[in-house]
Amino acid sequence: MKVGVLGGGQLGRMLALAGHRLGIRCRFLEPAERPPAAAVGEVVRAAYDDPAGLDALADGVDVVTYEFENVPVGAVQALAPLVPVRPGPAALELAQDRLAEKDGLRALGIDTADYRAVGSEAELNRALAELGAPVVLKARRMGYDGKGQAIIHSGADIAEAWSGLGGGPGIAEAFVPFDRELSLVAVRGVGGDLAFYPLVENHHDQGILRTTIAPAPNISAGLTERARAYVRAILESLDYVGVIALELFQVGDDLFANEVAPRVHNSGHWTQDGAVTCQFENHLRAVTGLPLGSTEPRGSGTVMTNLIGSVPELPDLLADPAARVHLYAKTPRPGRKVGHVNVAEQPR
Amino acid sequence: MKVGVLGGGQLGRMLALAGHRLGIRCRFLEPAERPPAAAVGEVVRAAYDDPAGLDALADGVDVVTYEFENVPVGAVQALAPLVPVRPGPAALELAQDRLAEKDGLRALGIDTADYRAVGSEAELNRALAELGAPVVLKARRMGYDGKGQAIIHSGADIAEAWSGLGGGPGIAEAFVPFDRELSLVAVRGVGGDLAFYPLVENHHDQGILRTTIAPAPNISAGLTERARAYVRAILESLDYVGVIALELFQVGDDLFANEVAPRVHNSGHWTQDGAVTCQFENHLRAVTGLPLGSTEPRGSGTVMTNLIGSVPELPDLLADPAARVHLYAKTPRPGRKVGHVNVAEQPR
């Protein structure tokens, strides 16, 4: 089988590595030179909206998916008559616009922070008054790893925050005084079959995920049930096929949805070494119509730590004989994710 | 880092897949068209003894290894001035000739079946008389998966067995009335550091490995100690670097060495899903001078089953959500290994 992938970054690379085991080969559409996926699959080098590139991607593949939610919806719409695209454009549209995302979550009865659309400095002022400080101002589009975000503690912060947005439309969200950040990674098959990985606990620094603890400790059955209900509602409303991640804030017994990622997700990387089937294999199984693999965790737990900015010397990384190292073949750069390490936790 | 590999079959393919995670890329020298490794690394298509092919393999790689022990020793000798070759030619010489192998094992004090070199039908007759029926006649060179072997129950079988050998030199071995077949996979680093996977139990059919149970049940500490002492003696006598497998017959509390494989081995495939570090990664770590990874088994055990001759439909293979499937992208053919499946055992 052959799978076309929009995007050729590390998520594409790890999809391809998981695919080879099952005889599934990936072809990538990627504008960048020598992307991480190039070593493990064929790359069509073109812009995401280049019609010739899209044709070359679609030629002879069984299905197209994406590893990056900021591909133009038009690209997916152009592919749709040629080849099945999973997940479909509705998931992209939801995830690309933080306002549409929050509206969509609320429409499904999912709790989120209060928020206001802001199209001008005056609207931002009004949002701050209505929501109460602090508020988080985010660009509606193209934000990731904390980029395009600012925290506004008082009216004095507004001018700078607004100009940081570059005039683009934004969304102002009430700050959620969370106990911790969690996420739920799930997968839905072509036939509607569902499997959930356990809730995991995430630690960010400067907007970038640093560490995931899987499963999250001290999770009540009720919390798991609520998180699954949220994700199930999203998946079913979109008739979604593939892996999805929902980022959540926990406040006591409450869960507030923060962000939907319609793809494999950094907070699911622990599954490569800590679950029976990793998220990458399950995404490929789902989009190709194969049965889903077990999402059961293995052992007593796994801690995933991102390597950010630079890769330590390999002998140092491997000094712990139990460390499971995953490198992305990316040029190091401050703030860039270049790899991750999974370590099994000692039994608690 | 870059590693050159003599041979581009499924073992090379799985080496490359393990390598990508660590940023190690493999280049293969392989005479066959579209070998299994082609999807995951660069292939130099040439005969193993083609000087231009060997130069192309060596160009810019940090080390050369092999995934197939029947490469010409001359090829390894030609590479040696250009690039480190690990394991070295002594291991190949030992493993390529069943007589040298048995002589070498005996010289290290390792128990084996009784055996005689046979160069003629008359010598085979004499060997049968001296060893007693049944004896196993094997070609000294190029045998694998039971090819080039015959069991001789009486003098009446001799003419056919001898002609089956094609006149080449052979070795006649006393049949060992074994309780079961075991193997030990181990790895030795550049600095002499050693790590052992647990003893595993192997089931063959028509000379081809069908199933490995890992760890082997009911293994006494003494048996493990003896098997490790055998392997340690072999590794140290050859100043060996990389993964090695020793096939053994168990007879009560005794262990008889049967065959040495100076490479990753089919009876180690369970480690991909059942050990902290798989044999493929550990081989690459060893030959590139990196620290070895933990060889500890995970969970309560793993059963590896080879797919031989043909690949079942993927949905059928994946119907058990816990099945871990590994396919080799080989054209199916009777008796050919085309993949394997690892399944975690329920706790005993």
Select B2-85's CATH number: 3.40.50.10420, 3.30.470.10, 3.40.50.20, 3.40.1180.10.
3.40.50.20
Tell which of A2, A13, A20, A295 to mutate to test the B interface (max B CBs under 10 Å). A20
Gyration radius (Cα) of chain B, Å:
20
Query: Could you tell me which of A279, A280, A157, A314 has the C-alpha nearest to residue B281?
Result: A314
Can you give the pLDDT at residue A125? Answer: 94
Q: Which H or E run includes A25?
A: strand A25-29
Tell which of B2, B20, B43, B307 to mutate to test the A interface (max A CBs under 10 Å). B20
Each residue's pLDDT tens digit, A5-52: 999 999 999 999 999 999 999 999 999 999 999 999 999 999 999 999
Dist. CA A227–CA B334, nearest whole Å: 50
Can you give the pLDDT at residue B7? Answer: 97
Can you give the pLDDT at residue B207? Answer: 85
Nearest residue of chain B to residue A293 (CA atoms): B321
User: Has domain B114-174 been given CATH number 3.40.50.150?
Assistant: no
Q: Min CA distance, B65 vs chain A (Å)?
A: 20
**Is B260's pLDDT higher than 90?**
yes
Dist. CA A276–CA B198, nearest whole Å: 21
Nearest residue of chain B to residue A329 (CA atoms): B23
Chain B residues inside the 8 Å CB shell of A285 = 318
User: Is A23 within 8 Å of B329 when comparing Cβ atoms?
Assistant: yes
Tell which of A318, A342, A346 to mutate to test the B interface (max B CBs under 10 Å). A318
Reduced to 3 states (helix: H, G, I; strand: E, B; else coil), residue B76 is helix
Strand order in the sheet with B63-66: B42-44, B25-29, B2-6, B63-66
**Is A143's pLDDT higher than 70?**
no
Would an 8 Å CB–CB cutoff place B13 in contact with chain A? yes
CA–CA distances in Å: residue A221 to residues A64, A226, A227, A268: 36, 9, 10, 20
Placement of tokens 């293995």 in the chain: A298
Dist. CA B211–CA B61, nearest whole Å: 35
Can you give the pLDDT at residue B32? Answer: 95
Question: Is there a contact between A30 and A15 (Cβ–Cβ < 8 Å)?
Answer: no
CA–CA distances in Å: residue B299 to residues A89, A323, B199, B206, B277: 41, 17, 16, 31, 13
Dist. CA A300–CA A303, nearest whole Å: 10
Can you state the angle between helices A10-21 and B10-21, rounded to 10 degrees?
150
Vertex A21, ends B200 and B348: CA angle to 5°?
A: 35
Chain A residues inside the 8 Å CB shell of B294 = 321-322
Average pLDDT, chain B: 95
Please, which residues 274-313 of chain A have a Cβ atom closer than 8 Å to chain B?
276-277, 285, 290-294, 296, 298-299, 311
**Is B348's pLDDT higher than 60?**
no
User: Is the alpha carbon torsion for A25, A30, A34, A35 positive or negative?
Assistant: negative
Give the amino acid at B6: L
Q: ipTM, 2 decimals?
A: 0.94
User: Is A39 within 8 Å of B20 when comparing Cβ atoms?
Assistant: yes
**Is A128's pLDDT higher than 90?**
yes
Model confidence at A146, in pLDDT bands (50, 70, 90)?
low
Can you give the pLDDT at residue B168? Answer: 79
Chain A residues inside the 8 Å CB shell of B319 = 291
Dist. CA A152–CA A175, nearest whole Å: 9
Average pLDDT, chain A: 95
Each residue's pLDDT tens digit, A274-302: 999 999 999 999 999 999 999 999 988 99
Chain B residues inside the 8 Å CB shell of A311 = 23
Model confidence at A92, in pLDDT bands (50, 70, 90)?
very high
**Is A348's pLDDT higher than 80?**
no
Can you give the pLDDT at residue A115? Answer: 97
User: Is A25 within 8 Å of B17 when comparing Cβ atoms?
Assistant: no
User: Is B314 within 8 Å of A40 when comparing Cβ atoms?
Assistant: no
Each residue's pLDDT tens digit, B110-153: 999 999 999 999 999 999 999 999 999 999 987 666 667 899 99
User: Is A23 within 8 Å of B314 when comparing Cβ atoms?
Assistant: yes
Overall size of chain A counted in residues: 348
Each residue's pLDDT tens digit, A308-334: 999 999 999 999 999 999 999 999 999
A145 vs A76 pLDDT, higher one? A76
Nearest residue of chain B to residue A323 (CA atoms): B293
Of B195, B299, B319, the CB nearest to A291: B319
pTM of the predicted model over 0.90: yes
Can you give the pLDDT at residue A207? Answer: 85
Strand runs (DSSP E) across chain B, as ranges? Answer: 2-6, 25-29, 42-44, 63-66, 115-118, 135-139, 149-152, 170-174, 180-188, 194-196, 200-205, 208-214, 242-251, 254-261, 302-308, 324-327, 337-344
Reduced to 3 states (helix: H, G, I; strand: E, B; else coil), residue B160 is helix
Look up residue A287 and give its two tokens.
């989009």
Dist. CA A213–CA B309, nearest whole Å: 43
User: Is B324 within 8 Å of A285 when comparing Cβ atoms?
Assistant: no
User: Is B326 within 8 Å of A277 when comparing Cβ atoms?
Assistant: no
Dist. CA A199–CA A179, nearest whole Å: 15
Q: Name the pairing type of β-strands B302-308 and A149-152.
A: unpaired
Gyration radius (Cα) of chain A, Å:
20
Would an 8 Å CB–CB cutoff place B108 in contact with chain A? no
Domains A114-174 and A180-345 share a fold: no
Assigned fold of A180-345: D-amino Acid Aminotransferase; Chain A, domain 1 (3.30.470)
User: Is B17 within 8 Å of A17 when comparing Cβ atoms?
Assistant: yes
Would an 8 Å CB–CB cutoff place A324 in contact with chain B? yes
Can you give the pLDDT at residue B69? Answer: 87
Chain B residues inside the 8 Å CB shell of A20 = 13, 17, 39-40, 329
Query: Could you tell me which of A336, A287, A277 has the C-alpha nearest to residue A311?
Result: A336
- The per-residue DSSP string of B52-71 comes to HHHHHHHTT-SEEEES-TTS
Lowest average pLDDT, out of A62-71, A90-99, B117-126, B160-169, goes to: B160-169
**Is B328's pLDDT higher than 70?**
yes
Would an 8 Å CB–CB cutoff place B327 in contact with chain A? yes
Would an 8 Å CB–CB cutoff place A347 in contact with chain B? no
User: Is B21 within 8 Å of A327 when comparing Cβ atoms?
Assistant: yes
Q: Min CA distance, A336 vs chain B (Å)?
A: 17
Give the amino acid at B283: H
Tell which of A21, A277, A280, A288 to mutate to test the B interface (max B CBs under 10 Å). A21
Of B293, B298, B325, the CB nearest to A318: B293
Give the amino acid at A314: L
Vertex A150, ends A148 and A153: CA angle to 5°?
A: 170
Dist. CA B247–CA B174, nearest whole Å: 16
Q: Min CA distance, A276 vs chain B (Å)?
A: 6
**Is B104's pLDDT higher than 90?**
yes
User: Is B318 within 8 Å of A293 when comparing Cβ atoms?
Assistant: yes
Each residue's pLDDT tens digit, B55-101: 999 999 999 999 988 899 999 999 999 999 999 999 999 999 999 99
Look up residue A210 and give its two tokens.
């640093």
User: Is B299 within 8 Å of A298 when comparing Cβ atoms?
Assistant: yes
Neighbours of A159 (CB within 10 A): 12
Nearest residue of chain A to residue B323 (CA atoms): A293
User: Is A21 within 8 Å of B17 when comparing Cβ atoms?
Assistant: yes
Numbers of helices and strands, H then E, in chain A: 11, 17
Dist. CA B307–CA A314, nearest whole Å: 35
**Is A346's pLDDT higher than 80?**
no
Can you give the pLDDT at residue A25? Answer: 98
Question: Is there a contact between A59 and A83 (Cβ–Cβ < 8 Å)?
Answer: no
Give domain limits for chain A.
2-85, 114-174, 180-345
Nearest residue of chain A to residue B292 (CA atoms): A321
Would an 8 Å CB–CB cutoff place A20 in contact with chain B? yes
CB pairs under 8 A between A and B: 89
Question: Is there a contact between B105 and B148 (Cβ–Cβ < 8 Å)?
Answer: no
Q: Name the pairing type of β-strands B42-44 and B25-29.
A: parallel
Would an 8 Å CB–CB cutoff place B34 in contact with chain A? no
Model confidence at B277, in pLDDT bands (50, 70, 90)?
very high
Dist. CA A11–CA A263, nearest whole Å: 9
Model confidence at B28, in pLDDT bands (50, 70, 90)?
very high
**Is A182's pLDDT higher than 90?**
yes
Percent of chain B at pLDDT > 70 equals: 98
Can you give the pLDDT at residue A142? Answer: 76
Each residue's pLDDT tens digit, A29-42: 999 999 999 999 99
**Is A94's pLDDT higher than 60?**
yes
